Every structure is written in structure tokens, then in C-alpha cells.
Amino acid sequence: MKLYLIFHGRFPSEKAASLFAAKSAEAFALQGLEVELIVPRRRGVSRDPFYFYSVKRTFKVVYTYTIDLFDKIPNFLAFWKSYIAFSLSSALYIRGHAKSEDIVYSNEALPLFFISFFHKNCFYEMHDFPESKLSFFGWLLSRMRWILVHNEWKEKRVLSMFPKTRGKLLMERNAVDVNAFDIGLSKIDARRKLGLSEEGVLVLYTGHLYRWKGVYTLVDAARMMPSDVSVVFVGGTVSDIATLREYAEGVKNLTFVGHRPHQDMPLWQATADVLVLPNSASEKISAYYTSPMKLFEYMASRRPIVVTDLPSIMEIAGDDTATVVAPDDANALIAGIEMAVSDTAGSEVKTQKGYMWVSEHTWDKRALRIITFIQSR
């Protein structure tokens, strides 16, 4: 069986979606499939994706044509020109290379739209949720042979809105490389390796600095924290860091590390007394759609975790695996961090339960469950 995985985005890049594509391709290949990852050919991309993501060279990366006008015209216009061109070029590639029994797998709706006219084995992994263009998505889903959603909320909504998807819909959460994050290093040793202070409480956030991820609430919390508590942000684009720095003006206990290679994340997370996921309730992508890979990585790191009480988060981490606080509330976030630090015995129990849970959600196990689902349908 051969699988063509289509991803529209800069590859490799610091974005989680790009990492997701690489890890998925590797996992499918390690389950015995021949895998080709089809991505757009973008300007200035010269890094080796296998090294960048620390993945095995078990799959082929195919760069196809796109129109790359990012940084030349407004981003939304550049995106659509690139997306349409790439969707057509990837469809042409599939038309010229895929056999009828091969699988075309993607979280990109437009390439699958074109490909479904001539290829029946299409698998749509729905990362967002169609709040608009429902007639288009109803038609698209009807043409898919398999569909995957990331959480129970989306599963119920899809079945309610598109009842004909029953029987071809799989709910499968995101995943993590547990062995990569369970490095068995004490927080003191990890801090020494990175040249960080061994004293005080270190609160760590990793990932992008979008507002819906709750990072502004974390800054508000840092303003009120004692001086011996340090808050470290690892990740974010240059422009997003600059914007958040401006918002955090005058806050002394903040450190912005910037983007770091994904292979460095286990070491950074090992430095923490507490890992925080302060997602906001202000946007549906945060409250309902997401299944954050970051949370899986936190749980694999065996460190106490503080999360916000949102449906998308509670499906993964509840009171038995993390300290849960109200979203968009800096005082609640502070109280949660203090609880996670002070209740060492309780945090240890939660950490162990979280680790056991996430051990069932590795990339390999995820790929195997998806393949088993494909073969059963």
C-alpha cells in the first residue's frame, strides 16, 4: 500500500502543522507503507527536514509547484494564490503517479476536492471545523472514503451536521514521541545544560504566541508573581515576540527565548517546575477545535502541568493529570501554578497518570490505529 500525504505549508518550518506532517509521514512509513509527502516548493527553504525534525529517512519528500508571493503582496492574497496553485499541482502529481489502490491523505480540503474527481481512496483529516461553506464541506465529505477528527466535540458535530459520514469517520487524537521527551534529566541538570539559574521557580510555556493561546493572560499573571518565579516563553515568530514584549513592558521576570529546534524542546521542558497551557476561551479554535500536540509533549515530559478549563483541553487532561484553572483569568492561573508547585505529592500522582495516558498516543500507535481503520473499511 502506498500513501501520498499532502501538506500545504512551508516545509520544514517552526509551525506545528509542519511538524505534524513530518511525524505522520514517518509513522506511516514505519508501519510498512511506502510514503510520499507532497509539499509546496517555497523560496528560501533549504534546511534538511529529516534533521530539522529528527525523523528517520523512511519517506520521500516531493516539492511541487506553487506561486510564492509571501512578503511581496498581502498575506491573505499570497496564501490563496499559493494554495490554489499548490492544490492543482499536487492533484496533477497524484494523477500522474498514484495507482487506484493507493491512498491520498491530507488535512487540506482543496487538493482533496480536485483529487476526488479522479481518485476514490481519499482520506481527509479535519484539523479545523467548517463554520461556513457547509454545502461545500458536505459535498467534500461525501466524496471522502475516510475522515478523521481530533476530538469528541468535532466527532459529535460532524455526525450531527453530516450524518452520512457515519461509518467512515474516525476520532483519533494527536500524538507525541514519548521516548524523545522522557529524557530522565533532573530540572537542575537541564538548567545547567542551558545556562539557566538553578534557583527559584521556573514556569515554562512552549509554542506560538497567538493571543488565543492565552499567552497574554500568562504575562498578566507574571506581573503579579513573586520575584523568585521566572516565566519563560520558548517559541514564537520575531514579530509575535516583539508584540508580546511591548505588552509585557516593565515585567521583570519574563524571558523570551524565541524559536528553538524541535529536538531541543525535551531539554527546555525538563527545566520547568511547571509547564503551562493557558489557552483562551475567546476563540472556537482554542475552546473546541484544537487537540494541542504541546499538551501531549508536556505530559511526556513528566512535569507538573497547569491547563485551562476548556472542552478541547479537558478531553486530554483533567483534574487527575493536571491542575485545571479558569481560562482568561490571571489570578486563577497564579493560584494553579502555586498549587502545582506546593503540592508535590499530588503533582507527582498527576504527572504519572498523564505519562501513562500519553504513552498510548505515540505517533506509531496512532498510525497503526489509522491503518487498521482504513483496512476495516
Cell numbers describing residue 295: 499538551
Q: Are 298 and 356 in contact (CB under 8 A)?
A: no
Q: Are both 111 and 242 inside the same structural domain?
A: no
Give the pLDDT score at 356.
97
Q: Are both 148 and 289 inside the same structural domain?
A: no
Q: Are both 183 and 122 inside the same structural domain?
A: no
Please give the Cα distance from 70 to 76 (Å, whole number).
9
Q: Are both 60 and 129 inside the same structural domain?
A: yes
Burial class (CB in 10 A: 0-12, 13-18, 19+), 252: exposed
Q: Are both 27 and 131 inside the same structural domain?
A: yes
Cell numbers describing residue 376: 476495516
Segment 226-232 shows an average pLDDT of: 95
Spell out the residues 6+ positions from residue 6 whose beta carbon is closer than 8 angstroms to its own: 38, 39, 90, 104, 105, 106, 108, 111, 112
- The CATH number assigned to the domain holding 231 equals 3.40.50.2000
Let me know how long the chain is.
377
Q: At what angle do helices 215-224 and 330-342 cross, to 10 degrees?
A: 70
Q: Give residue-wise pLDDT tens across range 303-350.
A: 999 999 999 999 999 999 999 999 999 999 999 999 999 999 999 999
Q: At what angle do helices 238-247 and 215-224 cross, to 10 degrees?
A: 40
Q: Are both 126 and 190 inside the same structural domain?
A: no
Please give the tally of structural domains in the chain.
2
**How does residue 88 score in pLDDT terms, banded at 50, 70 and 90?**
very high
Instruction: Please say if the pLDDT value at position 96 is more than 90.
Output: yes
Q: Are both 109 and 223 inside the same structural domain?
A: no
| Short-list 239, 218, 237, CA closest to 229 | 218
Q: Where are the alpha helices (DSSP H) in the chain?
A: 16-30, 49-52, 75-97, 109-115, 134-143, 152-161, 178-181, 187-194, 215-224, 238-247, 265-270, 284, 293-300, 311-314, 330-342, 344-358, 363-376
Instruction: Please say if the pLDDT value at position 129 is more than 90.
Output: no
CA torsion through residues 54, 3, 108, 287, sign: negative
Q: Are both 126 and 223 inside the same structural domain?
A: no
Give the pLDDT score at 133.
82
Q: Are both 209 and 190 inside the same structural domain?
A: yes
- For residue 210, give its domain range: 178-358
Q: Are both 271 and 144 inside the same structural domain?
A: no
Burial class (CB in 10 A: 0-12, 13-18, 19+), 104: buried
**How does residue 46 score in pLDDT terms, banded at 50, 70 and 90?**
confident
Give the pLDDT score at 348.
96
Q: Give residue-wise pLDDT tens across range 13-30.
A: 888 899 999 999 999 999
DSSP string, 14-52: SSHHHHHHHHHHHHHHHTT-EEEEEEE--TT--S-HHHH
45-54 — which CB contacts under 8 Å span 24+ positions? 45/10, 45/11, 45/12, 45/13, 47/12, 49/11, 49/12, 49/22, 52/12, 52/22, 52/261, 52/262, 53/12, 53/19, 53/22, 53/23, 53/262, 53/263, 54/180, 54/262, 54/263
Instruction: Please say if the pLDDT value at position 203 is more than 90.
Output: yes
* pLDDT, averaged across the chain: 95
Q: Are both 6 and 143 inside the same structural domain?
A: yes
Q: Are both 103 and 237 inside the same structural domain?
A: no
Please give the Cα distance from 31 to 13 (Å, whole number).
25
Q: Is 98 left (phi over 0), alpha (psi -120 to 50) or beta?
A: beta
Burial class (CB in 10 A: 0-12, 13-18, 19+), 357: middle
Q: Which residues pair with 124 in a beta bridge?
A: 106, 147
Give the pLDDT score at 317.
95
Instruction: Please say if the pLDDT value at position 131 is more than 90.
Output: no
**How does residue 43 score in pLDDT terms, banded at 50, 70 and 90?**
confident
Segment 181-194 shows an average pLDDT of: 95
Segment 83-96 shows an average pLDDT of: 98
**How does residue 123 score in pLDDT terms, banded at 50, 70 and 90?**
very high
Cα Rg for the chain, rounded, in angstroms? 21
